[in-house]
């Protein structure tokens, strides 16, 4: 069955009216929604409650307008990335598997989505090979569900995983276990990075499970399609695999590339080209002709403290965390590139894309 993909603006901290309107307009039914990926307006940190508010609002609409049980709606992956620093607009991208009558006849591979939940991730798993293996197993199941056979057809893997908080750290200690770090904010980076390695291992981007001492330190190991977020609202990995599959009959395609650094607009354009959209040599956002649904990026302050040979200061700033600075900067670059501030830009890109850069995926309308 084909997939429908739509982007809706979040107009207030607990707004889900855009989702409700799409359902009311018959774009898709509430019971057809399979995943949501969005940006919320909080601080993006460990205690960012706006992720929970958006999660409750969107699940509430699906309960009110559909027939699935509360337990079934709870299983729908919703990856919320907090923090809309700079010009980023809060928004959500909704994926729905729609009726066959809404598909198109084509021999081309078209967008397909597969979802999975990993095994429970214990506090002591985070940042360690056990988490890599559990995530990899879930990615393979999601890929199979999407009907994607060739790993080269996977262009975007969005995950949401647990990070460490005081309660889970105490739980591990009570059971005689240790944790990777007791810095809860740093555990966000580590959770994301370890998940990125799990994705890379599942898709053959790396050929082995990294050694414990390589996790968080060996920057040559990374995934070019991973977009990993973490939070306090779950205890396992929610996995959404997006790729192009034969027979999917969707009206959309997805492509990916890499931003080599924080201002690499060419990486964004290349992802759009890979999705199948023809562009001039020097493209402008007006060339998109309303065919771009959204772009999804991960970014990170370059630990070398430079950008194209110029000195950078975000890692030395004691007033504003470098996560927020880079998110705002890359969000501005991305918004200017595609002409739309409703872009999915997420930080903590450890093991996701090259050092100082990050993966970028683009979903476009194929017809």
> Can you give the pLDDT of all 367 residues of the chain as single tens digits?
899 999 999 999 999 999 999 999 999 999 999 999 999 999 988 889 999 999 999 999 999 999 999 999 999 999 999 999 999 999 999 999 999 999 999 999 999 999 999 999 999 999 999 999 999 999 999 999 999 999 999 999 999 999 999 999 999 999 999 999 999 999 999 999 999 999 999 999 999 999 999 999 999 999 999 999 998 878 999 999 999 999 999 999 999 999 999 999 999 999 999 999 999 999 999 999 999 999 999 999 999 999 999 999 999 999 999 999 999 999 999 999 999 999 999 999 999 999 999 999 999 999 7
- Give yes or no for a contact between 160 and 81, defined as CB atoms under 8 angstroms apart: no
Task: Check residue 45 and give its pLDDT.
Answer: 86
Task: Check residue 1 and give its pLDDT.
Answer: 84
Q: How far apart are CA 248 and CA 264, in angstroms?
A: 32
Number of CB atoms found within 10 A of residue 102's CB: 18
Q: How far apart are CA 110 and CA 113, in angstroms?
A: 10
Q: How far apart are CA 341 and CA 107, in angstroms?
A: 34
Backbone angles phi, psi at 78, to 5 degrees: -130, 105
Q: What does the DSSP assignment read for 141-181?
A: HHHHHTT--SGGGEEEEEEEEE---HHHHHHHHHTT---S-
Token match 């996977």: residue? Answer: 154
Q: Is 229 a catalytic residue?
A: yes
Q: Which of 305, 347, 304 is nearest to 326 (CA)?
A: 347
Burial (0-12, 13-18, 19+ Cβ within 10 Å), 81: buried
Q: Which of 62, 111, 55 is nearest to 78 (CA)?
A: 55
How many angstroms separate the Cα of 106 from the Cα of each of 6, 103, 293, 366? 21, 9, 20, 11
Catalytic residue among 160, 223, 230, 250: 160
Please list, in sequence order, all residues whose beta carbon lies within 8 angstroms of the beta carbon of residue 156, skipping any fewer than 6 positions away: 225, 227, 241, 242, 243, 254, 256, 296, 359, 361, 363
Task: Check residue 231 and give its pLDDT.
Answer: 84
Order of strands across the sheet that contains 3-9: 3-9, 91-97, 33-40, 78-82
Q: Where are the alpha helices (DSSP H) in 248-359?
A: 265-274, 322-338
Catalytic residue among 191, 223, 224, 229: 229
Q: How far apart are CA 191 and CA 261, in angstroms?
A: 22
Write out the H or E segment, with its range, that includes residue 262: none
Q: Is 134 a catalytic residue?
A: no
Where b means 16+ CB within 10 Å and e means fewer, 189-227 reads bbbbbbbbbbbbbbbebbeebbeeebbbeeeebbbbbbb
Task: Check residue 110 and give its pLDDT.
Answer: 98
How many angstroms separate the Cα of 137 from the Cα of each of 134, 140, 141, 239? 5, 5, 7, 10
């Amino acid at each position: 069955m084909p997939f429908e993909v739509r982007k809706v603006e979040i107009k207030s901290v607990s707004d889900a009216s855009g989702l409700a309107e799409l359902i009311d307009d018959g774009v898709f039914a509430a019971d057809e929604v399979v995943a949501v990926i969005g940006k919320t307006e909080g601080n993006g940190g460990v205690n960012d409650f706006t992720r929970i508010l958006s999660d409750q609002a969107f699940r509430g609409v699906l309960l009110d307008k559909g027939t699935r049980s509360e337990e079934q709606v709870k299983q729908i992956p919703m990856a919320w990335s907090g923090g809309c620093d700079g010009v980023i607009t809060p928004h959500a991208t909704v994926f729905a598997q729609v009726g066959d009558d809404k598909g198109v006849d084509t021999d081309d591979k078209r967008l397909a989505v597969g979802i999975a939940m990993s095994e429970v991730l214990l506090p002591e798993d985070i940042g360690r090979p056990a988490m890599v293996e559990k995530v990899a197993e879930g990615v393979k199941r999601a890929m199979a569900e999407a009907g994607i056979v060739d790993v080269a057809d996977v262009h975007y893997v969005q995950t949401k995983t647990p990070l460490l908080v005081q309660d889970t750290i105490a739980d591990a200690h009570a059971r005689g276990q240790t944790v990777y770090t007791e810095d809860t904010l740093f555990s966000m980076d580590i959770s994301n990075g370890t998940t990125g390695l799990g994705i890379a291992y599942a898709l053959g981007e790396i050929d082995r499970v990294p050694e414990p001492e390589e996790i968080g330190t060996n920057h040559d190991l990374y995934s070019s399609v991973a977009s990993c977020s973490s939070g306090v609202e779950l205890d396992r990995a929610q996995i959404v695999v997006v790729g192009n599959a034969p027979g999917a009959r969707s009206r959309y395609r997805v492509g990916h590339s890499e931003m080599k650094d924080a201002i690499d607009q060419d990486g964004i354009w290349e992802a759009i080209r890979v999705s199948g959209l023809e562009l001039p040599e020097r493209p402008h956002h007006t060339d998109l002709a309303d065919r771009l649904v959204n772009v999804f990026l991960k970014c990170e302050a370059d630990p070398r403290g430079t950008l194209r040979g110029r000195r950078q200061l975000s890692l030395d700033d004691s007033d504003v965390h470098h996560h927020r600075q880079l998110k705002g900067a890359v969000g501005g670059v991305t918004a200017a590139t595609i002409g739309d501030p409703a872009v999915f830009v997420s930080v903590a890109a450890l093991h996701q894309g090259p050092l100082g850069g990050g993966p970028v995926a683009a979903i476009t309308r194929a017809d």
